[in-house]
């Protein structure tokens, strides 16, 4: 993999350097009547020469402070990558990107906690969760796609980045999750956008490999079945991929309507309807609100006829509702958010593919895998524009089923209160392009843990510290 990335980058950068330093042009330039050089913008060569490079470097310090008697963890990661995309050639574009990561100092992430037998949860996500002792050979060929552009619409095929409510980047570690398949966007209908496609491959965040659709489900921790036995769906599911469709409409002033359907063939169907409303006020401020409903239904046997090895039980269903309201201007944004997952069943979506679409989502925890949930969260964002600082303070209460209610609690997480503080600073001058972030996330237990610390470690009564430096060019 590393050889492929290195060769591709050298080939592309080599062509660019050669073009910039070539002293003799073998083909004489063509001049127009104004004594200007005429460039042949219709050639494939021009599309490659006029392409654009961009890249990034990241340093990430992640540490978790658990209660006394349980293991604390830390990790330092550095990485960088390059991306190249050609200019348009009769509507076509080609893109290629790769990334590398190094572990430059961490706890032993392959040894379980001696008191509970539980493994590290957060820090390993900076590297390769499938090989805790891989510290140097952590690289991935990421984007590799061909795109066709028609007017304001496009069709992409290959490995690419997607950001949708259910399948998204979840970029909270070193690298995001990636997908492979065909994806389109149609923007030719006034005030309407239609998007969707067929995805057959995934490279989840914190991995270096690419997996076929069904094989990617279970790469992360799989929790327990509804009867309390250990889930065994990893490498035991059958599916032809994921079919997605999203429709967005803004025909009504100050009102947006979003409809989504995610069909995981042979496993699960998820449908969502969301409405967003915003009313402008004086002094460039506005009030806003949203409402969301999600419905899930198992397809056939949920991925495997053997229900001990299936992802979702046969005939299972789940419902979720959410509302939010807030006020904002150029400097400040405040909101109150509520989500409810009914007791009909667990809300399920492969964690390998993205984070929750719920309004109450806070970084470092999820409500996927649970039913009968009541969550409320308040957030305040404030920007100090003159000094290029952005801040965010959020707090939420998440009432979950009892940890032994396996039918509605997949991961053994007790009810909790979470508080997040986030500060970001953008550098200027000679360091323009560099951004620093500090995120501190604390979770307090509010449920019965039955004197068993396996329900505590890396879950509640803990503080998670994050310091990140990003440089984009």
| pLDDT averaged per 10 residues in sequence order, the chain, 473 residues | 43 38 41 54 90 97 98 98 97 97 97 97 97 93 97 98 96 95 98 98 96 96 97 97 98 98 98 98 96 98 97 98 97 98 98 97 97 98 97 98 98 98 98 98 98 98 98 97
Task: Report yes or no on whether pTM surpasses 0.75.
Answer: yes
pLDDT at 23: 38
**Top-tier CATH class for 2-25+42-472:** mainly beta
pLDDT at 120: 97
pLDDT at 36: 54
The secondary structure of 21-81 as a DSSP string is: H--S-SSPPEE-TTS-EEP-TTSHHHHHHT-EEEEEEEEEEEEEEPPTTS--EEEEEEEEE
pLDDT at 33: 56
419 in Cβ contact with 462 (< 8 Å): no
Nearest one of 98, 96, 113, 106 to 127, comparing CA atoms: 106
pLDDT at 137: 86
pLDDT at 171: 87
Distances 329 to 254, 279, 281, 287 between C-alpha atoms, Å: 16, 12, 9, 9
For strand 242-249 and strand 255-264, is the pairing parallel, antiparallel, or unpaired? Answer: antiparallel
Measure CA 323 to chain center: 22
Alpha carbon distance 89, 204 (integer Å):
31
Alpha carbon distance 453, 459 (integer Å):
10
Alpha carbon distance 458, 451 (integer Å):
16
pLDDT at 34: 59
Nearest one of 336, 315, 308, 331 to 386, comparing CA atoms: 331
pLDDT at 47: 94
Distances 249 to 258, 279, 444 between C-alpha atoms, Å: 7, 17, 40
Q: Where are the domains of the chain?
A: 2-25+42-472
Alpha carbon distance 233, 306 (integer Å):
10
């Amino acid at each position: 993999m590393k050889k492929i990335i290195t060769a591709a980058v050298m080939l592309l950068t080599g062509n660019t350097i050669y073009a910039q330093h070539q002293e003799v042009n073998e083909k004489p330039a063509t001049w127009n009547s104004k004594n200007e050089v005429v460039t042949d913008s219709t050639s494939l060569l021009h599309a490659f020469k006029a392409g654009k490079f961009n890249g990034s470097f990241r340093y990430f310090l992640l540490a978790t402070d658990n209660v006394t008697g349980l293991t604390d963890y830390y990790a330092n990661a550095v990485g960088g990558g390059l991306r190249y995309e050609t200019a348009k050639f009769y509507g076509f574009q080609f893109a290629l990107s790769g990334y590398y990561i190094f572990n430059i100092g961490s706890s032993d992430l392959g040894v379980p906690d001696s008191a509970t037998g539980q493994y590290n949860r957060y820090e390993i996500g900076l590297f390769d969760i499938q090989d805790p002792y891989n510290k140097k050979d952590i690289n991935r060929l990421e984007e590799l796609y061909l795109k066709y552009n028609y007017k304001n619409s496009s069709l992409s095929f290959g490995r690419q980045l997607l950001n949708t409510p259910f399948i998204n980047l979840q970029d909270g570690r070193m690298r995001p999750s990636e997908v492979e398949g065909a994806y389109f966007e149609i923007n030719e209908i006034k005030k309407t956008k239609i998007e969707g496609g067929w995805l057959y491959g995934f490279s989840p965040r914190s991995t270096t490999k690419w997996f076929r659709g069904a094989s990617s489900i279970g790469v992360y921790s799989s929790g327990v079945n509804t009867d309390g036995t250990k889930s065994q769906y990893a490498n035991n599911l059958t599916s032809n991929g994921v079919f997605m469709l999203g429709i967005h409409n803004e025909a009504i002033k100050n009102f947006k309507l979003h409809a989504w359907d995610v069909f995981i063939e042979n496993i699960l169907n998820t449908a969502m309807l969301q409405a967003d409303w915003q009313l402008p006020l004086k002094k460039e401020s506005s009030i806003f609100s949203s409402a969301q409903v999600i419905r899930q239904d198992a397809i056939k046997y949920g991925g495997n006829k053997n229900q001990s090895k299936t992802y979702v039980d046969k005939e299972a269903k789940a419902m979720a509702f959410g509302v939010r309201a807030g006020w904002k201007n150029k400097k400040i944004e405040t909101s109150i958010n509520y989500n409810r997952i009914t007791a009909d069943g667990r809300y399920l979506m492969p964690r390998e593919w993205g984070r929750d679409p719920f309004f109450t989502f806070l970084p470092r925890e999820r409500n996927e895998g649970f039913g009968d949930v009541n969550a409320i969260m308040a957030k305040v964002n404030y920007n100090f524009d003159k000094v290029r600082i952005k801040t965010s303070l959020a707090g939420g209460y998440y009432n979950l089923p009892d940890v032994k209610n396996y039918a509605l609690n997949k991961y053994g997480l007790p009810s909790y209160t979470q508080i997040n503080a986030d500060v970001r600073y953008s550098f200027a001058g000679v360091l323009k392009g560099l951004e620093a972030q500090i995120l501190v996330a604390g979770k307090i237990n509010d449920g019965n843990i039955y004197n068993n610390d396996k329900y505590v470690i890396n879950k509640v009564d803990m503080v998670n510290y994050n310091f990140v430096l990003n440089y984009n060019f």
